[in-house]
Structures are given as C-alpha cells and as structure tokens.
Chains A and B, each alone.
Chain A
Amino acid sequence: MGLFSRRKTVFVDSDVLVIGGGMAGCGAVYESRYWGRDLKVVCVEKANIERSGAVAQGLYAINCYMGMQWDENQPEDHVRYARNDLMGLVREDLGYDIARHVDGTVHKFEEWGLPIMKDPETGRYLREGKWQIMIHGESYKPIVAEAARKAATEVYNRIMVTHLLMDKTKPNRVAGAVGFNVRTGDFYVFKAKAVIVSAGGASHIFKPRAVGEGMGRTWYAPWSSASAYALPIQVGAKMTQMENRIVLTRFKDGYGPVGAYFLHLKTYTQNAYGNEYESTWYEHTKSLVGDYVDRHPVPTCLRNHAMLEELKAGRGPIRMVTTEAFQDPHKETVGWENFLGMTIGQAVVWASQNIDPKHINPELTTSEPYVMGSHATCSGAWASGPEDYAPDDYQWGYNRMMTVDGLFGAGDTIGGTAHKFSSGSFTEGRIAGKAAVNYVADLGNEPPQVDEREYRALEKTIFQPMENYAVGRNEIVAGTVSPSYLLPIHGLQRLEKIMDEYVGGISSHYTTNTPLLDRGLELLEMLKEDMNHMGAEDLHQLQRTWELHHRVLASESVTHHTMFREETRWPGYYYRADHPKLDDDNWHCFTLSRYDRESDEWEMEKAPVYHIVD
C-alpha cells in the first residue's frame, strides 16, 4: 500500500442510508425518523449539509406550492401544467403524489422559520406566479439542514460516495455503499437495509459557455456531479427520459433567473431592434410540434426555440425590457434581491459591466444543456408509484423504489417528475423516507449482506488514481502533462467537448443526429478506457476524479437515450436533425434504459404514458 498504509476502513451500519444531504436528502432523513423511531438513520454528504446541494446559495422563491388551503390550485392542475410544459410526457402518478403533499412541507418550512412573503391585502403567501411563492430564502438550506440534523442518527459530512453495494445472497438487492472521506482519506463502508439516493443532477457534462475562470458559473451548481444517476446506473437500475436535457433562458453570463422578472415584475423580451419576436415563429414551430404550440402557458422549450431561431436569423442580442418596471422602487428592490438571494454572480456581472436594469435592458442567453430531474425537465430513475392509484405498469413495490430492491430515490434522482423544485424535492424525499421505513420493517430478520471481496476490490479501484499519480509523477520534471495519467480537469474538458459537439450542445445549436451520436459513443468509450488512467494528486483531486466518473456514466446514458428516441420532442432543448418533428404516433412514451456492468451493454425499451383523464 505504501503511501496509503495508514488508511483506515470505517464501517457504518444503518437501517436507512440517505446519500446526499440536499433538499431531497433532508426530507428523506426527516421522514425516516418520524416513522422509524428506533431506526438508525444515516445521512452521508460529500460537502456539508449546512450548505450543500443546489439550494446552498439560497432561493428567492418556492416554485412548487399548490395553495390548496385557499383553493388556489389542486394537485391535478399541477400535473396538467407539468404535462404541457414537458410536451406530454411526465409520470402523472408521481407528479400528483408530490403535489398532494407539498403544501404540508411548505407550511412546515414556515413554522421552522423560513421567511415567506405575504400579500398585505389577503394575508396569503405572496404569489410570483401561479405555482410560485416568494421567500427571503438566504438561509433556506441552513434551516432545512437544522431539521435534518435533529432527525438523523448520524450525519457524515465530506464523504464522497462512489458506488452502491449489492447483497451477496440475494440478486438485485442493495446492501449499502462505499466512499471515502475527502479530508482524512479513510475508506467508508456503509451497510444499509434501505438506501435512498438523493444526490445531485448533472452540470458540466456539456461544455459551458464560459470555459475559463467562469466555467464554475454554470446555471446548476458545479458540485451537482450526476451521482443521482451514476450510483443507480452502476447497479442496473432502470433510468428514464435521460435524453430530456434542459436548456435555460437566463440573463447573460451570470445565469440569473428570469422567473420573477417575467411573472412578478412583468418584464418582457425583445430582439436587438426592439421588436417582439416569439409570435413570428408560431407557424414554424407549429410545423414541428403541431398543437402543442397552442398550449398555455407555452412550453418552456418552445419559448427557447423561438429565441434560438431569432438569434440564428441574426437579430440578437435578445434583451429583457427592465427599464419600465424598474422605475418602481419596490420592483427594483425585488429584481436585485432576487439575484442576491439565489444567484449572486449575476449581481456581480451587472456591477462589473455597469448594467443598471433601471436604465439598460440586460441581455439574455440560452445556457448549455443540463441533465436533472427537478426543474422543467425530468431525467432520472424509473420508480414505483404510489400504492393507492398507480397503474400496474408503474407499480412493483414500495413508493419511489427503483427497479433494484431496497433502493429508493428522491429529487434529481427520480425521473418523470418535472417541476418539483426545492419544495417538491424535499417532499419526494419524505415520500421515499416513509416507504423505506416500511421496507425495512418488512425485511424482518434478513438484513442485507455485503461482500467483503466486492468492497475490497472497490477500495483498490477508488484509490487507484492516487497511486497512478504517485508513480507517474516521477516520470516528468514538472507541470501537468504526463504520458501515464490524465488529471480530472483534462477528462472533464474532453467529456464536455464530446457532449457539446456530438450530443447537441451549444456549438451545434443543440442539434445532433444518428451519425454524430454514434461517433460520440465511440469517443465516450475511449474516455471510459482512459478513466482507468486518471491521476489524483490529493484527496480533493480524487473527489474530482470520482465526480468525473459519475458524469461520464450519466453522459453515456444521455447519449443512448438521445439515440433511441427518433423524434424531436422538445425543440429548444435539443434537435434530432434526422427526425426533426414531434412524433406522437411512435414516441408518446417514456424511454427506459438498463446498463449491465458485466457486459457493458445498454438495453433500451419504451414504457407507456398514463394520463389523468377527466
């Protein structure tokens, strides 16, 4: 072992193991404790749950709140909204389930101390839009983390989970997870009766618009490293809608959010010459997607599409007209606090470029693509639905259990449930938490068995990049160029370039086709081989290496799904140039994949879509 002879192996037993302590993970921990009073509930997080996950920075709105107590919306309404926005394809059973519970979650947040703005006339929560309520959410995550810490038996911060462990006695049953402490380098073996994956979606799989110092200012957090997908994919869990990547229209460079601007401040967009442009692309868009263009509100991807076409026609930049609304001092304050509460980097950009939106209409842009499961998109694991109404095609066990026994998910991890956002992700964690407690109770005296040979082999794999570096570094004088190893940043930049050029990134206006995808897969295969030659100088670089492993596996999944769906379902998110139109006859379905790690093969299939019918 040489260098690492002092490395300890730490064993942690648990009943419910929650991987990832963001919004979904905190919800899972809270609910697991409520129902599992005597259970050992363990939360493991690669950062610090006080400020981890996509809400680390704070939020200025909760985007998923029904307001059932005031009869503002009912759960069915939210399902229809998400269905329309995702061009017909969402898991309506799962979406309804989140919507019926989410108000109780938000009421708890308020009781815990989250400042929710109120309408001074009605006393109700102040609406930003039909589904959004406005908050002073700088401390949203610390407040939710406080509840999770109170609920958990143990929280392990700074442990990067790299792999799940499977039961050695029963096929297709999860038994725990392994990872390493990014401070001490100790190897961790978690044994668990039930595992809830509530890790992050994927930023940095497509090349971002800023590739220098600003590459960290992605829309989704740079620490969202696709563990939500890689962990289940590795053990053969089925995934769904991985092709359904999202592209965001945002303020340029800072990726500051536009929701409050459109909905609350009533700002609007125009092209470089001061003209409204969306309506001019109506007939063109209708020729691609048919009647979906007439849905209200207009699906997010189609609004992107109009903007992209306008830019390609040479009438950029597109600007948000803020100079009218910002004459109202209250609206000006809301506009700025919106950024300070959740995207401070946008305030930094505007301060640096002397953009005062009271006097200048700021530029908008479309982001690089992201793969995640909680915003206006729904990539993730294929999960069993609620027991009381989910159709048989969607029900094979406990609510939110994947196609692996004992493996549950929530938040970015679970596919098919768009528009859950922060409150819905916490709520889905709660749903998974209760189901996991029931699963543990039903296991009785058959606790899962981990295989020592398996976790010892994984230990060697996990720490190999440090050995590679220690050995290979002696070959060269100095610097970053070695014939023997690649650094994590090298691998990340190659991945981003492959995905950008072959799988529909910004450089091709989000366009791909079968030959491009085929070539992309060939290059991804070589990258996967090179991943055996990663070099990590220290534990931080080892974390980056494993984040990259997770991103690469998720990217492979995205590419296979994109290849399988032979239509362009979401113009504005991506285009299959060889199948440029939406095709409901053949593709009004979910795409499912299963990865077999023994054969390194991907199996694709279709699954039916069930709608709530009036």
Chain B
Amino acid sequence: MPTFVYMTSCDGCGHCVDICPSDIMHIDTTYRRAYNIEPNMCWECYSCVKACPQNAIDCRGYADFAPLGHSVRALREEEKGTISWKIKFRNGSEKNFVSPIRTTDWGTIQSPADYAAPGAEEYRNQELAHEPDALNIEGGLPALAPEQLKQGVV
C-alpha cells in the first residue's frame, strides 16, 4: 500500500506522523492508530518504518507492479549504530544485510558558533567556515583568474 500499519502493534504514538516527509502518515480518529492516508504519494522511503518504536509499520510493494508475497524489513538501532535488513522474495528465498549508520555518538556535532569567531578581514574573502584547513591541501583555496573565462564554443 506501500506502507501500512498493523492494528495489533501500533499504539498511536505518532512518531511516523512526525517524521513522514510526504505528510501521509496520520492518526485514524476512530482507532487512535496510525495509517497511510495517501499510498500513491508514498516513496517507500521507510522513514516511518525506521522511526516506529513498535515495529508496527511494514511495506507492501505498489500494487501496479509488485506481486504479493514479498517483504523487506528494516531494524534501525541508533545505540548500536546499525541498520539491519531482511529481504524475503515471493518464492521464499531470503537475503540479510547489516550496515553501519553513524561513527560518532548522536548529539555530538558541534554548533558552528562553538568555533572561534572569524576575523573581520575574513568576511569579504571567498573562504568558507573551517577553510582553508578543512580542504587538507597546500596553497589555500583554489581560484580562477577572471581572464580564464571566455565566451565561445569549446
């Protein structure tokens, strides 16, 4: 449907509603559980599947071209820094994959305001934050000379 929600697993927490980039996961007012209100605007991006604390959301491939009987499940574990995938084919065969998702602890990125403030003379040159050091090259930020740009067909 692309994504759908299992009635017995969903507790209506709304994490999927909060994260969906397409604004299509909404809470059903009768059942107080989430559902996909607009399957034809679902990208199968799995943002809701990954965000669901109850693992209540799954995906059934688009009816136009995906025969039934398959499943692609995801388990994203931020503490472990991994995402695990289980693919089941219509014919029953399976494949499993695990990938890292982050090499640092969540929340540890520094604000740009935590770095020393730039000097007044740096505002009108072409260097961006952390340059030239962040480029890891000698000779500073590369530049063209104005005369290197010419009209014509090359």
Binding site for B on A (CB under 8 A): 30-31, 33-35, 37, 46-48, 50-53, 56-57, 68-69, 74-76, 83, 88, 92-93, 96, 100-101, 103-104, 107-108, 112-115, 136, 138-139, 143, 146-147, 150-151, 158, 182, 210-218, 221-223, 253, 333, 336-337, 340-341, 344-345, 347-354, 356, 386-391, 427, 430-431, 434, 437-438, 441, 540, 543, 584, 588, 608-613
Q: Tell me, in angstroms, the Cα distance from A83 to B153 when the chains sit together.
A: 11
Q: Tell me, in angstroms, the Cα distance from A609 to B152 when the chains sit together.
A: 7
Nearest-CB residue, chain B, relative to A113: B104
The smallest C-beta distance from A519 to any residue of chain B, in angstroms, reads 28
Nearest-CB residue, chain B, relative to A102: B135
Chain A residues positioned under 8 Å from B142 (CB to CB)? 68, 74-75, 100
A104 touches B1 (CB 8 A): no
Q: Tell me, in angstroms, the Cα distance from A353 to B104 when the chains sit together.
A: 38
Chain B residues positioned under 8 Å from A438 (CB to CB)? 123-124
Which B1-60 residues sit within 8 Å CB-CB of chain A? Answer: 1-2, 18-24, 26, 37-47, 59
Sorted from nearest, which 6 A-B pairs have the closest CB atoms? A113-B104, A214-B62, A104-B134, A34-B112, A352-B66, A345-B44
B21 touches A352 (CB 8 A): no
Interface size on B, as a range, is: 35 or more
Chain B residues positioned under 8 Å from A103 (CB to CB)? 134-137
Chain A residues positioned under 8 Å from B146 (CB to CB)? 389-391
The smallest C-beta distance from A556 to any residue of chain B, in angstroms, reads 23
B143 touches A214 (CB 8 A): no
Q: Max chain B CB contacts within 10 Å: which of A101, A104, A147, A354? A: A104
A344 touches B72 (CB 8 A): yes
B44 touches A217 (CB 8 A): yes
Across the interface, B123 reaches (CB within 8 A) one of A35, A112, A347, A427, namely: A35
Chain A residues positioned under 8 Å from B145 (CB to CB)? 389
Chain A residues positioned under 8 Å from B61 (CB to CB)? 345, 348-349, 351-352
B129 touches A613 (CB 8 A): no
Chain A residues positioned under 8 Å from B93 (CB to CB)? 356
A216/B123 contact (C-beta < 8 A), A337-B97, A345-B44 known: no
Across the interface, A216 reaches (CB within 8 A) one of B22, B68, B109, B143, namely: B22
Q: Mark B125-146, 1 if CB is under 8 A from A, else 0.
A: 0101111001111000111111
B66 touches A348 (CB 8 A): yes
A613/B62 contact (C-beta < 8 A), A34-B118, A51-B47, A104-B134 known: no
Nearest-CB residue, chain B, relative to A157: B18
Q: Tell me, in angstroms, the Cα distance from A353 to B93 when the chains sit together.
A: 12
Binding site for A on B (CB under 8 A): 1-2, 18-24, 26, 37-47, 59, 61-72, 74, 76, 83, 85, 87-91, 93, 95, 97, 99-113, 115, 117-118, 123-124, 126, 128-131, 134-137, 141-146, 148-154
Q: Tell me, in angstroms, the Cα distance from A37 to B7 when the chains sit together.
A: 49
Q: Tell me, in angstroms, the Cα distance from A150 to B114 when the chains sit together.
A: 10
A151/B40 contact (C-beta < 8 A), A51-B47, A341-B99 known: no
B26 touches A540 (CB 8 A): yes
Nearest-CB residue, chain B, relative to A393: B151
Nearest-CB residue, chain A, relative to B42: A216
Q: Which secondary structure characterizes the binding site on chain B?
A: loop
Nearest-CB residue, chain A, relative to B49: A344
Nearest-CB residue, chain B, relative to A143: B102
A214/B64 contact (C-beta < 8 A), A47-B21, A48-B19, A336-B95 known: yes
Offer 21 A-B interface pairs, CB within 8 angstroms, sorted by A. Answer: A34-B128, A35-B123, A37-B117, A50-B19, A57-B43, A69-B137, A101-B131, A113-B102, A113-B108, A136-B101, A214-B64, A216-B62, A217-B43, A223-B21, A344-B45, A348-B44, A356-B89, A387-B126, A431-B128, A610-B150, A611-B150
A104 touches B131 (CB 8 A): yes
Chain A residues positioned under 8 Å from B115 (CB to CB)? 34
A216 touches B43 (CB 8 A): yes
B63 touches A213 (CB 8 A): yes
Q: Tell me, in angstroms, the Cα distance from A584 to B154 when the chains sit together.
A: 10
Chain A residues positioned under 8 Å from B87 (CB to CB)? 336, 347, 351
B43 touches A351 (CB 8 A): no
A354 touches B89 (CB 8 A): yes
Chain B residues positioned under 8 Å from A351 (CB to CB)? 61, 70-72, 87-90
Q: Tell me, in angstroms, the Cα distance from A223 to B38 when the chains sit together.
A: 13
Nearest-CB residue, chain B, relative to A441: B123
Q: Tell me, in angstroms, the Cα distance from A223 to B62 when the chains sit together.
A: 18
Across the interface, B70 reaches (CB within 8 A) one of A352, A543, A610, namely: A352
B66 touches A104 (CB 8 A): no
A146/B70 contact (C-beta < 8 A), A115-B101, A217-B44 known: no
The smallest C-beta distance from B107 to any residue of chain A, in angstroms, reads 7
Chain A residues positioned under 8 Å from B144 (CB to CB)? 76, 93, 96, 388-389, 612
Q: Tell me, in angstroms, the Cα distance from A100 to B143 when the chains sit together.
A: 8
B154 touches A613 (CB 8 A): yes
B109 touches A147 (CB 8 A): yes
Chain A residues positioned under 8 Å from B109 (CB to CB)? 112-113, 143, 146-147, 150
Q: Tell me, in angstroms, the Cα distance from A211 to B89 when the chains sit together.
A: 25
The smallest C-beta distance from A126 to any residue of chain B, in angstroms, reads 14
Q: Tell me, in angstroms, the Cα distance from A388 to B125 when the chains sit together.
A: 8
